[in-house]
Chain A
Amino acid sequence: MIAVIINGEHRQFDHPITLVTLLEQMQLNGKRIALERNGEIVPRGQFDQQLLANGDRLEIVVAVGGG
């Protein structure tokens, strides 16, 4: 079991999945997002190589209106 925190919410997965699979599950694949894993930026090109690990903290962000 893998327990992670994504955008502040606890999530669990039965087995390690790649970031691409995660984004697919969240319907965010191909969207204009940026991803930080444990405080470090993960470049888009590495989404299919990096596996979620127990204890990971992810931030997935988008652009919104702001001043």
Chain B
Amino acid sequence: MKQDNLLIAGKTYRSRLLIGTGKYRDFSETQAAVEASGAEIITIAIRRSNIGQNPNEPNLLDILPPSRYTLLPNTAGCYSANDAVRTLRLARELLNGHSLVKLEVLGDPQSLYPNVVETIAAAKILVAEGFQVMVYTSDDPIVAKQLEDVGCVAIMPLASLIGSGMGILNPWNLQLIMERVQVPVIVDAGVGTASDAAIAMELGCHGVLMNTAIAAAQQPVWMASAMKAAVEAGRLAYLAGRMPKKLYSASPSSPVSGLIS
């Protein structure tokens, strides 16, 4: 089989698993999980530098060097287009002009459900400013198409709510989105365990982005390995083309003739 790469904004990636760096016990666990996952695109958050923090504290960028990973700064925690745009301008300055970003504008602190109106508004501004926007959104196929039309380079619908681990709740909507948009569709949020990631890939999604499913596992590094295998298995199964489902089969796997009597 020829090389099956993920293509985002003109750049190819071997891994279709994208992972977040939040909620780990410490940086060494973050690093080990990233390593085990094989992920090349790693999300990070942008936060106020803590006044009075220990100046010798290691920095996330020291353990995940931008020379080795494609860092994807996010706008987690932003509830308006304006805050999201400001955050990503800061990220671009922090990362020396890096323009590939993850946009998410949330609507509600309980559910963390995206506010798609603010998301579209922010996407328009960011695209105009030269950002390459990978966008977290609901699984609404109309909104997904609008986000593609304003110039987003990847559409990243939720499979279920952020941090819920509920898995793929509406595979039909994911399929509707994939039928409508040309850019990669990456499931972002909701994956709880390896089978969820495999299902997303079997549906034909181009990749899966997750954080809590790995970080909140009892053994995050093992789960990172499991997710790597699941994404690869699901992708290969999708490419292989599964057999049709049927209630029963009159065609056994073993020969019907030559039975002893």
Contacts and interface: CB of A to CB of B under 8 A. Distances in A.
Given A32-B59, A41-B89, A41-B90, A65 B49 contact: no
Interface in B165-221: 209-212, 215
B71 A61 contact: no
B21 A39 contact: no
Contact of B47 (A31, A36, A61, A67): A61
Contacts of A9: 51
Contacts of B89: 36, 41
Interface residues of A, number: 26
Contact of A67 (B23, B48, B49, B71): B23
B25 to A, nearest CB: 11
Given A66-B22, A67-B20, A67-B211, A59 B48 contact: yes
Interface in A12-30: 26-28
A65 B77 CA distance: 13
B162 A67 contact: yes
A9 B48 CA distance: 11
B119 interface: no
A28 B94 CA distance: 13
A9 B94 CA distance: 22
B86 A66 contact: no
A36 B59 contact: no
Given A65-B20, A67-B23, A60 B48 contact: yes
Nearest to A23: B49
Main secondary structure of the interface of B (DSSP, over half): mixed
Given A7-B48, A32-B59, A65 B91 contact: no
Contacts of A66: 20-22, 43-46, 74, 76, 211
Contact of A63 (B44, B76, B215): B44
Interface in A28-66: 28, 31-36, 39, 41, 43-44, 59-66
A42 to B, nearest CB: 8
Contacts of B93: 34-35, 41, 43-44
Given A27-B55, A36-B86, A39-B86, A64 B94 contact: no
A31 B90 contact: no
Interface string B22-54: 111000001000000000000111111101000
A8 B46 contact: no
A44 B95 CA distance: 11
A8 B49 CA distance: 11
Interface string B59-92: 1110000000001011010000000001101110
Given A41-B89, A63-B61, A67-B210, 16 more contacts: A7-B51, A8-B48, A26-B51, A31-B59, A32-B94, A35-B90, A62-B47, A62-B48, A62-B49, A62-B94, A63-B71, A64-B45, A65-B21, A65-B30, A66-B76, A67-B21
- Which 8 residue pairs of A and B lie closest in terms of their CB atoms, listed nearest first? A66-B45, A67-B20, A67-B211, A27-B55, A34-B94, A65-B21, A34-B93, A7-B48
Interface of A: 6-9, 26-28, 31-36, 39, 41, 43-44, 59-67
